[in-house]
């Protein structure tokens, strides 16, 4: 979890996708996140966290359902939403924090 903490502390926004392999909506989001990564081209980081392999991270951020998305900026959560969603919502929220 030390690496995770280092990544989210940066100035660059980090979108963390808390997911599970068995989760249907999480699988639906996988290609959307790949597409989103192309759109943001290094201006933000997308990090996937498997809650079954990293229960401490899920617990630390009170993740109760998957997928749960949290955007971190300078180590602090600045946006949070659960459930599958269109790429546009994630892109809009990330862009609010890219230049901020």
CATH topology of domain 2-83: Glutaredoxin (3.40.30)
Confidence at residue 2, expressed as pLDDT on a 0 to 100 scale: 59
- Cβ–Cβ under 8 Å, residues 52 and 83: no
What ranges do the domains of the chain cover?
2-83
| pLDDT per 10-residue tile (average), the chain, 100 residues | 82 95 96 95 93 94 96 95 96 86
What residues act catalytically?
Answer: 23, 26
pTM: predicted TM-score of the whole model, two decimal places: 0.94
Confidence at residue 42, expressed as pLDDT on a 0 to 100 scale: 86
């Amino acid at each position: 979890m030390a690496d995770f903490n280092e990544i989210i502390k940066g100035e660059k926004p980090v979108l963390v996708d808390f997911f599970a392999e068995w989760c249907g909506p999480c699988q639906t989001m996988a290609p959307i996140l790949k597409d989103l990564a192309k759109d943001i081209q290094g201006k933000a980081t997308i990090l996937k966290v498997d809650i079954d392999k990293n229960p401490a991270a899920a617990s630390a951020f009170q993740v109760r359902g998957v997928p749960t998305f949290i955007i971190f900026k300078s180590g602090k959560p600045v946006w949070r939403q659960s459930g599958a969603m269109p790429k546009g919502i994630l892109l809009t929220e990330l862009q609010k924090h890219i230049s901020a």
